[in-house]
């Protein structure tokens, strides 16, 4: 089903405002993980790549689409992966005590 | 049908909730996992909704991307993080650009709205890809890290952007010529991205990285509009907003405007001619290239400063603030910094770290480096939290930071750092500077701290070596 352009733009604007509000609460301590987490989410272009590839009408488009899926998946998986690695490094004094 | 939209809404909320959990260290790991799970679910739901679960090509591509992503994510070293973040970012942009191209050839692009959004997504996606690759190349040392300025750079930047925009309009209006137009549109976007990214260097990198992060989200969101995928539109919007917010924070921390950065006015180009060259050299010199003159100045400076023995000062200090900068990352000295902090604490001192928002090469760079060597995050303070405490602390140890502690930012009108918020290191009773040399920082403005006669100890040279000998003496 075609969604009206108006609604798509509206969703974009709302998402932008909500995102802006949410992210302004993140302390600068976590800016790098935040950025790489956001980075991972931008790889959700894979959704567009999947549908576009499946509906592609010629081989050329399918190859391009497959490439897009691969690149976007690297972005998603790699992004969440490095974010997880970074976040697991942040320790507080108390936690250190518990582990010891 | 309705179920699909409900599920999409739930997933978006899940991702948003995951992001809000990222605002506290205690919940951040879970927040990231929640976002990841929602993303995986989004992929499956999208494939189910479009009845493409049986398309083998898609699964093969997903598997390839998954494996490469996992390998990269867990193989890379923490020190490579800035360039890796840049690279991943570029890949997302590339994917959006490719989706845009497919839209033009799939027959999906009947409507003007689809064509317009696809054209925009193409340009922004290409700019994200090429810009990120150049930024990553600079961070990785493949490309020259210093800002490269062409003749008529500004004209090329603005010109290529304007031509790209005109091509977008033509691409929307003249479907018959789309192949030629797509090629030219891509070429001019590439030119713009190169012109924009190549003249960014050193200290302007955090701004550029956050801006590109924002672009990748916007590219994804607009590509989502082109293929009618509301999930992608929403998530891309959130990413775009987050990147924009980070860019604003970085810009504020450096006292420059987003427009200046986009049009290529970096902090160096704004500086006076005389300071520029040495500034560039100072930022880019690596430990291997110790020049004779730097050594001589170092010796002279050490003699001058020998009145305040840094070892004695640190031994007696009960309240120490450490200021790390990019020099710490260059010298890989974070482990030694942690040992110094431990030693000072064993002496009964209180140790805190003051982190300037733009210290390093990406937002939050110093925090990650220090977290890696197990500095508890309670010890990491933001500029606003700690800036009033410098006046009362016993000693400040500066490790590879310059512009972010330069008091000239308050007084030297007309210099690129004038008005930039800086850490009040000069208010401390004693300042111990472990910098590589006496050259001005990236911005090319002389640091008055270097020439101050009292209360300043200069320990010049590679930060790792300096710290090692300092630790030995503190034994």
Sheet holding B395-399, edge to edge: B380-382, B350-355, B319-324, B395-399, B430-434, B456-458
* Residues ≥6 apart with Cβ < 8 Å to B75: none
What pLDDT, in 10s, does the model give residues B45-96?
999 999 999 889 999 999 999 999 999 999 998 888 899 999 999 999 999 9
Q: How confident is the model at residue B271 (pLDDT cuts 50, 70, 90)?
A: very low
C-alpha B220/C-alpha B39 separation (Å) is: 14
Length of chain B: 475
Where along chain B do its domains lie? 1-75, 80-270, 287-474
Q: Say whether A89 and B372 touch across the interface (CB within 8 A).
A: yes
Which range, of A15-19, A83-87, B260-264, B290-294, averages the lowest pLDDT? B290-294
Could you tell me the two tokens for B264?
A: 């290529």
Shortest alpha-carbon distance between residue A76 and chain B (Å): 8
Q: How confident is the model at residue B275 (pLDDT cuts 50, 70, 90)?
A: very low
Q: Which residue has the higher pLDDT, B294 or B91?
A: B91
Residue B284 is predicted with a pLDDT of 39
Q: Is the pLDDT assigned to residue B264 strictly greater than 90?
A: no
Q: Is the pLDDT assigned to residue B98 strictly greater than 50?
A: yes
Alpha helices in A24-58 (DSSP H): 31-42, 45-55
* Residues ≥6 apart with Cβ < 8 Å to B299: none
Q: How confident is the model at residue B436 (pLDDT cuts 50, 70, 90)?
A: confident
Which 37-66 residues of chain B touch chain A by CB within 8 A? Answer: 39, 42-43, 46-47, 50, 52, 55, 57-58, 60-62, 64-66
Residue B305 is predicted with a pLDDT of 47
For every residue of B231-259, DSSP letters joined together read: HHHHHHHHHHHHHHHHHHHHHHHHT--HH
What pLDDT, in 10s, does the model give residues B185-214?
999 999 999 998 988 877 788 888 999 999
Q: How confident is the model at residue A1 (pLDDT cuts 50, 70, 90)?
A: low
Q: Three-class SS of residue A58? A: coil
> Which of the residues B229, B403, B437, B446 is marked catalytic?
B403
Q: How confident is the model at residue B40 (pLDDT cuts 50, 70, 90)?
A: very high
Average pLDDT over residues B280-298: 41
Average pLDDT over residues B379-400: 92
Q: How confident is the model at residue B290 (pLDDT cuts 50, 70, 90)?
A: very low
B299 is catalytic: no
Residues of A within 8 A of B371 (CB-CB) are: 86, 89-91
Q: Say whether A42 and B239 touch across the interface (CB within 8 A).
A: yes
Residues of B within 8 A of A30 (CB-CB) are: 22-23, 25, 28, 364, 367
| b/e burial code for range B369-380 (CB count within 10 A of at least 16 → b) | bbbbbebbbebb
Residue B312 is predicted with a pLDDT of 87
Nearest to B88 among A1, A50, A79 (CB): A79
For every residue of B377-426, DSSP letters joined together read: GGGEEEHHHHGGGGGG-SEEEEES--GGG-THHHH-TTSTTTT-----GG
| b/e burial code for range B301-318 (CB count within 10 A of at least 16 → b) | beeebeebebbebbeebe
CATH of domain B287-474: 3.40.50.1220
Shortest alpha-carbon distance between residue B98 and chain A (Å): 6
* Residues ≥6 apart with Cβ < 8 Å to B194: B130, B134
Residue B461 is predicted with a pLDDT of 87
pLDDT-above-70 percentage for chain B: 89
Where along chain A do its domains lie? 44-86
Q: Is the pLDDT assigned to residue B456 strictly greater than 90?
A: no
Average pLDDT over residues B371-397: 92
Could you tell me the two tokens for B217?
A: 């989200």
Residue B263 is predicted with a pLDDT of 67
What pLDDT, in 10s, does the model give residues B108-152?
556 788 899 999 999 999 999 999 999 999 988 888 878 888 888
C-alpha B402/C-alpha B194 separation (Å) is: 28
List B382's β-bridge partners, or say none. Answer: B355
Nearest to B89 by CA among B234, B243, B198: B243
Could you tell me the two tokens for B286?
A: 């690596």
Chain A CB within 8 Å of residue B139 CB: no
Q: Is the pLDDT assigned to residue B428 strictly greater than 70?
A: yes
Q: Is the pLDDT assigned to residue A19 strictly greater than 80?
A: yes
Residues of B within 8 A of A40 (CB-CB) are: 35-36, 39, 88
Mean pLDDT, rounded, of chain B: 86
Q: Is the pLDDT assigned to residue A23 strictly greater than 50?
A: yes
* Residues ≥6 apart with Cβ < 8 Å to B458: B298, B301, B302, B304, B305, B433, B435, B438, B450
Residue B397 is predicted with a pLDDT of 93
Beta strands per DSSP E along B55-185:
none
C-alpha B130/C-alpha B136 separation (Å) is: 10
Mean pLDDT, rounded, of chain A: 88
% helix / strand / coil in chain B, to the nearest 5? 70, 5, 25
Average pLDDT over residues B447-469: 87
Element (H, E) at B320: strand B319-324
C-alpha B15/C-alpha A82 separation (Å) is: 17
ipTM, interface predicted TM-score of the complex: 0.92
Q: Say whether B99 and A76 touch across the interface (CB within 8 A).
A: no
Q: CA of A18: how far to CAs of A12, B12, B51, in Å?
A: 10, 11, 31
Q: Is the pLDDT assigned to residue A65 strictly greater than 90?
A: yes
How many CA atoms within 13 Å lie on the side-chain side of A62? 10
Q: Is the pLDDT assigned to residue A98 strictly greater than 70?
A: no
Q: Is the pLDDT assigned to residue A77 strictly greater than 90?
A: yes
Average pLDDT over residues B458-462: 88
Could you tell me the two tokens for A33?
A: 């993980």
| b/e burial code for range B89-113 (CB count within 10 A of at least 16 → b) | bbbbbbbbbbbbbbbbbbebbeeeb
Nearest to B192 by CA among B214, B169, B212: B212
Which DSSP symbol is given to B227? T
Residue B107 is predicted with a pLDDT of 65
Average pLDDT over residues B334-356: 93
Backbone phi, psi, residue B285, to 5°: -65, 135
């Amino acid at each position: 089903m075609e969604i009206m352009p108006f609604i798509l733009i509206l969703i974009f604007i709302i998402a932008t405002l909500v995102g802006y509000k949410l992210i302004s609460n993140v302390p600068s301590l976590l800016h790098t993980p935040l950025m790489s987490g956001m980075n991972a989410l931008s790889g959700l272009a894979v959704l567009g790549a999947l549908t576009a590839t499946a509906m592609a009408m010629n081989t050329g488009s399918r190859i391009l689409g497959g490439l897009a899926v691969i690149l976007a998946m690297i972005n998603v998986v790699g992004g969440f992966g490095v974010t997880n690695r970074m976040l697991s490094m942040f320790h507080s004094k108390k936690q250190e005590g518990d582990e010891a | 049908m309705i179920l699909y939209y409900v599920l999409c809404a739930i997933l978006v909320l899940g991702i948003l909730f995951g992001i809000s959990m990222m605002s506290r260290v205690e919940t951040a790991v879970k927040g990231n996992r929640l976002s990841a799970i929602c993303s995986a679910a989004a992929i499956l739901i999208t494939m189910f909704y479009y009845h493409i679960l049986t398309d083998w090509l898609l699964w093969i591509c997903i598997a390839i991307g998954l494996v490469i992503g996992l390998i990269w994510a867990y193989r890379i070293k923490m020190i490579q993080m800035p360039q890796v973040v840049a690279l991943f970012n570029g890949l997302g942009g590339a994917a959006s650009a490719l989706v845009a191209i497919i839209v033009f050839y799939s027959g999906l692009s009947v409507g003007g709205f689809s064509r317009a959004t696809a054209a925009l997504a193409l340009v922004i996606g290409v700019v994200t890809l090429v810009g990120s690759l150049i930024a990553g190349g600079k961070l990785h040392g493949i490309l020259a890290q210093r800002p490269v300025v062409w003749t008529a750079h500004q004209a090329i930047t603005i010109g290529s952007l304007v031509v790209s925009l005109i091509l977008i309009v033509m691409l929307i209006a003249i479907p018959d010529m789309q192949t030629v137009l797509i090629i030219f549109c891509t070429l001019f976007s590439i030119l713009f991205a190169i012109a924009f990214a190549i003249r960014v260097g050193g200290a302007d990198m955090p701004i550029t990285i956050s801006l590109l992060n924002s672009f990748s989200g916007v590219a994804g969101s607009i590509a989502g509009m082109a293929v009618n995928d509301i999930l992608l539109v929403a998530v891309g919007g959130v990413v775009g907003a987050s990147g924009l917010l980070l860019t604003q924070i970085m810009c504020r921390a450096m006292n420059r405007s987003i427009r200046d950065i986009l049009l290529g006015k970096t902090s160096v180009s704004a500086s006076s001619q005389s300071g520029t060259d040495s500034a560039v050299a100072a930022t880019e010199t690596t430990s291997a290239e110790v020049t004779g003159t730097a050594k001589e100045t170092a010796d002279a400076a050490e003699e001058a400063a020998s009145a305040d023995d840094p070892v004695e000062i640190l031994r007696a200090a009960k309240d120490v603030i450490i200021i790390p900068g990019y020099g710490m990352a260059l010298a890989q000295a974070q482990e030694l910094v942690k040992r110094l902090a431990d030693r000072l604490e064993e002496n009964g001192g209180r140790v805190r770290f003051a982190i300037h928002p733009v210290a390093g090469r990406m937002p939050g760079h110093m925090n990650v480096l220090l977290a890696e060597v197990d500095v508890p995050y309670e010890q990491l303070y933001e500029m606003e939290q700690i800036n009033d405490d410098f006046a009362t602390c016993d000693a400040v140890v500066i490790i590879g930071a310059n512009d972010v502690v330069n008091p000239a930012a308050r007084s030297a009108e007309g210099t690129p750092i004038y008005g930039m918020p800086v850490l009040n290191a000069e208010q401390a009773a004693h300042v111990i500077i472990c910098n590589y040399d006496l050259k001005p920082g990236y911005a090319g403005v002389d640091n008055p701290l270097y020439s101050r006669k009292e209360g300043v100890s200069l320990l010049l040279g590679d930060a790792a070596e300096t710290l090692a000998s300092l630790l030995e003496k503190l034994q």
